[in-house]
Amino acid sequence: MNKKIAILIILAGACLTCGAKAHAQANTSKPAAASASDSQKATDQDIALLRQDIGSKKKQLIAANLKLTDTEATKFWPVYDQYSAELAKIGDQKVALIKEYASQWGTMTDDQALSLIKRSLGVDEQIAQLRIKYVPIFNKVVSGKTVATFFQYDRRFQALIDIQLAAQIPVVQDQQ
């Protein structure tokens, strides 16, 4: 994987998580309702733009590293776009959970913490199920080795983002 692209991915993930962390910190100070609403709109827009940029960078990374013939590429990219759209819907749930976590920071109960972790694990499970669903779909348009390589890149990319998220989101017990 191109080291320059990997660094960009890490930085993009850090920006996403910094927005969530800043949002969590802003919520602990309980700003006025109007400015909280404006801040939320700005945060939502920033997250949407950043997710779009990360998606674009991911596609560029895969295109640069996945060896496809012209014929394979013609068949692969529409399936990739479909997969990415479904993955983005799951990503919406992940973003919503992070925002919920941020809004509960400092006042989170045991029940809320358990609910968040169960739903977070459910999101992880949905991602795994989506990958399982798409293995045979991708395999209809490219070889098994290409499918395996694609999912290696997909998982690496997601792991980089997840590491950045984990590093930026404070652990539950730190709120006490």
Mean pLDDT of 153-160: 90
pLDDT digits (tens, 9 = 90+) for 95-121: 889 888 888 888 889 999 999 999 999
Q: Which pLDDT belongs to residue 33?
A: 46
Q: Which pLDDT belongs to residue 28?
A: 44
Q: Which pLDDT belongs to residue 72?
A: 96
Q: Which pLDDT belongs to residue 19?
A: 39
Mean pLDDT of all residues belonging to the chain:
79
Residue 130 CB neighbours (<10 A): 14
Query: pTM higher than 0.75, yes or no?
Result: no
